[in-house]
């Protein structure tokens, strides 16, 4: 699936290395070569800064309506 900047997404699976649970919502903030930088928020609505260093493949993401 193709996503666009500012789409709201979740991960299909937890990303423990970057501290993102699959229940966290995120907004796509950058798109490069078919991968996506996502600003995820934790349960307290704080940005998970570490996750901004990673680009996720479309197979790792699910769009939230």
Per residue in 9-63, pLDDT (tens digit) is 999 999 999 999 999 999 999 999 999 999 999 999 999 999 999 999 999 999 9
Q: Is the pLDDT of residue 1 over 90?
A: no
Q: What six digits make up the tokens of 20? A: 């993102």
Distance of CA 13 to the CA centre of its chain: 11
**Residue 65 pLDDT level (bands cut at 50, 70, 90):** confident
Residue 7's pLDDT is what? 98
pTM: 0.94
Instruction: Judge whether 3 and 28 are in contact, CB under 8 Å.
Output: yes
Q: What six digits make up the tokens of 13? A: 């699976």
């Amino acid at each position: 699936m193709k996503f666009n900047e500012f789409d709201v997404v979740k991960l299909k699976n937890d990303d423990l290395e970057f501290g993102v649970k699959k229940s966290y919502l995120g907004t796509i903030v950058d798109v490069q070569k078919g991968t996506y930088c996502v600003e995820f928020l934790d349960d307290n609505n704080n940005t998970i800064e570490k996750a901004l260093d990673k680009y996720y493949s479309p197979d790792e993401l699910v769009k939230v309506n």
